[in-house]
A and B are shown apart, each in its own frame.
Chain A
Amino acid sequence: MIKKILSILALFLLAFGYFSCSEESNPEFDQDNFTKIYDSNSFTATYYPIDLEQTADGGFIILARTEIENTNFFGTYLLKADQDGNFENEMHFDASFVNPVAKFMKVGDTYTFFCMDEFRMAKLVSIDGNLENLTVSLVNGITYPYVAALDNTNFVLQSFNDVDKKTAMSIINPAGNVVKNKEFDLGAGFEIDPEIDIVQHFFKFGKKIPFQVGKTGSTYYFNGFYNYSIALVFTDLNADDPQGVVYGEGDNGGISTAVPIAGSKFALARTNFGKNYMLPNQTLNMSGISSSEGGNPFPELEINAPIQILRATSESKNVLVYASNTRSKQIGLYFYDETTGAFLSSRYLGFSNPFEIGNLTQTEDGGLAVCGTTYLAGRFPRICLFKISKEELAKQVK
């Protein structure tokens, strides 16, 4: 009898042990994975995120464009979210800060980006992780900034010289001074006036050109207008002529995204008359003339879809994450092995309302953060932020 009672008690203890391990609130889970949409109840508010950075407290600052009155250009907006993705703070800029451009760059404890003033002059803007202590420097002599990137402690900026009608590549120091500048011809007599395209690019809803800028080794590169075409141009910023050029098809095609892997090996995306191709493992001729070709076609992507490429690490494996807009109005993530260029998996973010890619970054905890635009109720453009945990990323790239 005692044995039976003990057996029953043991059974109950086991059952109790099992069920006491039920779901408990776990702050770590709340930070590992989340989806957030930052909504304003204003009918007229619009937000289009460009880039994001993770802050020291685990939160995020998102740089976005927003519509403002009395200008043809987008205004500038910053949003701070906490480590759970909840809205913390925001900053609206006035009409003297328009057309903010990627990248949003972390320099020490500050977060920096370029935009332009009402007279089209480039501005360097820095702010701390709490959206306080704003510092602004006017970059003299530089107009119409396209895109920027970090160059050690300086910045490399591609812009448009609207006086000489040239593409400009500049090294800017943190104080906003031009350290070096080199300009490149757009091509005289170009049958499609690139200036028109350039102005459209800056307008609120004009056709966007996939401008890129960066550095690989000691060579700088930019993707923009050069010699009658959208071209990926390599330069040492000393010689007048480029070291190498990868030409596109006028303004109808060319490289849309370029991320250097090592030496002349790049992860690329390109467009050709609207169609998108991904080339995760491409060796480029950086010291000669070539043209953009090849790659896996992605008919599921929108025509001329913006494509972001992130180099990420998951469990010691180097991977490439391509992010873009699908025809089904989702954000598509495509994972590739960085070493071989082999396709690993895909994932789609968003449903019901349309979603568009802004940018993505790898987080301190080894996961991914993806920001984009979603159209709430199918019409209100709002910032969305997806956090994907380290474990989920690992599953994607297994």
Chain B
Amino acid sequence: MKRLLLIMLCLALLGTASFAQTKKRKPPKNFNSKNKQDEKFLEKQFWMGLKAGTNFSKVHVTKEYSVISPVNNEETSKVYESFNKPGFQVELELTFYFKGFSASLQPTYRSSSFAYTNHYEWIDSETATNSLTLDYYQEQKLEYFEIPFVVKYDILSGNLRPYIQLGGYGAFLINANKTVEVSGLDLASGGENPFTNEPVIVGAKDLFAKSNWGLIGGAGVNYNIGNIRINLDIMYRYGMSNIASTQNRYSNDRLAGVGDAMDDMTMDNISISLGALFPLRFLSSGFKSSDSK
């Protein structure tokens, strides 16, 4: 199903690209020899620049794990939050443009977060006031060095150049932290006693896979101002491999002690970046690319 969706996404994007290609390639009416020269020059360009922005993540659980194994009731699943924890990313973009298509390598530092809750309840069947509920709020903050490679297609030419992009990425884990906050309601202490404990923050790098990969789809727009290209880029990363460490799932005694084990999961991420790109090829010695005319 996952693969089918991806194939459909690829076909849809390619279809859009072909349609745009047929629409775009009409030469302008005032086409002259200078334009012809510039156009030829513009068929090929290298761009380099920096981008930064925010991102939000969501995980897909492929197999659930838990330290708590209930003996007399159903196991309660973790409840994951989706796309609500902001992260940030900084990207170096290296792009080679050729006749409307661009191949782009974008080494990225990405910090992403996701969170889930576990809920536990103990009740006394004989004394209704004897009850305790506990909620564990567990937030994971992951830092990756990513190498996305995308192929972009410019839908329009001119100063404002929207594009679509497809590609993939490999990500290397740099660091991971986990914050666990326990809150609850104790009715067994002679009254109603809501409480929230101080959060426990632990290093959790061992709990996550050292690397993972996924596919990228997205769109964006370039706007040329003088010699500089302003870029707004939206990427959706579709995780294809497990981000949790299968071997070290229970290795952190502190986390296992509070009843937690990471599920097997893939992570999707949507990022929005804004940046500036600079051309690396120029028509004249005055550092003027033909884009600047």
Instruction: Give the B-binding residues of A (Cβ under 8 A).
Output: 12, 15, 18-20, 22-26, 29-30, 32-45, 79, 81, 85-87, 90, 330, 348-353, 355, 374, 376-377, 379-380, 387
Contact = CB atoms under 8 A, between A and B. Distances in A.
Contacts of A23: 209, 212, 241-246, 264
A43 B130 contact: yes
Given A43-B131, A90-B71, A350 B209 contact: no
Contacts of A85: 69
B212 A19 contact: yes
B122 A351 contact: no
B246 A348 contact: no
Contacts of A12: 149
A352 to B, nearest CB: 4
A24 B246 contact: yes
B232 interface: no
Contact of B247 (A29, A349, A355, A387): A29
A10 to B, nearest CB: 14
A226 B271 CA distance: 75
Contacts of B124: 42-44
B226 interface: no
Interface in B275-293: none
Contact of A351 (B68, B131, B257): B257
19 contacts: A12-B149, A19-B212, A23-B212, A23-B244, A24-B241, A30-B65, A33-B248, A33-B250, A33-B251, A36-B67, A37-B69, A40-B71, A41-B72, A41-B73, A42-B123, A79-B71, A86-B69, A350-B257, A377-B134
A37 B209 contact: no
B70 interface: yes
Contacts of B63: 25
B256 interface: yes
Contact of A39 (B69, B149, B250, B261): B69
B211 A22 contact: yes
Contact of B70 (A22, A87, A350, A379): A87
Interface residues of B, number: 52
B32 interface: no
A37 B118 CA distance: 14
Given A351-B258, A352-B257, 14 more contacts: A22-B212, A24-B242, A32-B247, A34-B249, A35-B256, A36-B69, A39-B120, A41-B120, A43-B123, A79-B71, A87-B71, A90-B71, A348-B253, A376-B122
| Most A C-beta atoms less than 10 A away, residue of B67, B71, B170, B184 | B71
A18 B67 contact: no
Contacts of B241: 19, 22-24
B72 to A, nearest CB: 5
A41 B121 contact: yes
A304 to B, nearest CB: 24
B236 interface: no
B90 to A, nearest CB: 21
B238 interface: no
A351 B254 contact: yes
Contacts of A33: 247-251
A41 B72 CA distance: 7
Contacts of A34: 249-250, 261
Given A15-B170, A19-B170, A43-B124, A26 B246 contact: yes
A374 B68 CA distance: 11
Nearest to A79: B71
B188 A35 contact: no
Interface in B98-125: 120-125
Contacts of A36: 67-69
Nearest to B244: A23
A355 B254 CA distance: 12
Closest 5 pairs (CB-CB, A-B): A351-B257, A22-B241, A43-B124, A19-B213, A35-B256
B122 A41 contact: yes
A40 B257 contact: no
B100 to A, nearest CB: 19
A41 B249 contact: no
Nearest to B212: A22
Given A25-B62, A42-B124, A37 B67 contact: yes
B244 to A, nearest CB: 7
A21 to B, nearest CB: 8
A348 B251 CA distance: 12
Contacts of B122: 41-43, 376-377, 380
Given A37-B69, A39-B69, A40-B72, A352 B212 contact: no
A23 B207 CA distance: 11
B245 to A, nearest CB: 6
Contacts of B130: 43-44
Contacts of B188: 43
Contacts of B249: 29-30, 33-34
A43 B132 CA distance: 8
Interface in B50-105: 62-63, 65, 67-73
A39 B65 CA distance: 15
A185 B21 CA distance: 102
A77 B242 CA distance: 39
Interface in B197-234: 200, 209, 211-213
| Most B C-beta atoms less than 10 A away, residue of A29, A79, A355, A387 | A29
A20 B131 CA distance: 48
Nearest to B251: A33
A22 B68 contact: no
B15 interface: no
Nearest to B202: A351
B115 to A, nearest CB: 19
A12 B169 CA distance: 11
B259 interface: yes
Interface in B124-147: 124-127, 130-132, 134, 147
Contacts of B258: 351-353
Given A18-B170, A29-B249, A350-B257, A37 B212 contact: no
B82 to A, nearest CB: 22
B123 A38 contact: no
B95 to A, nearest CB: 15
A36 to B, nearest CB: 5
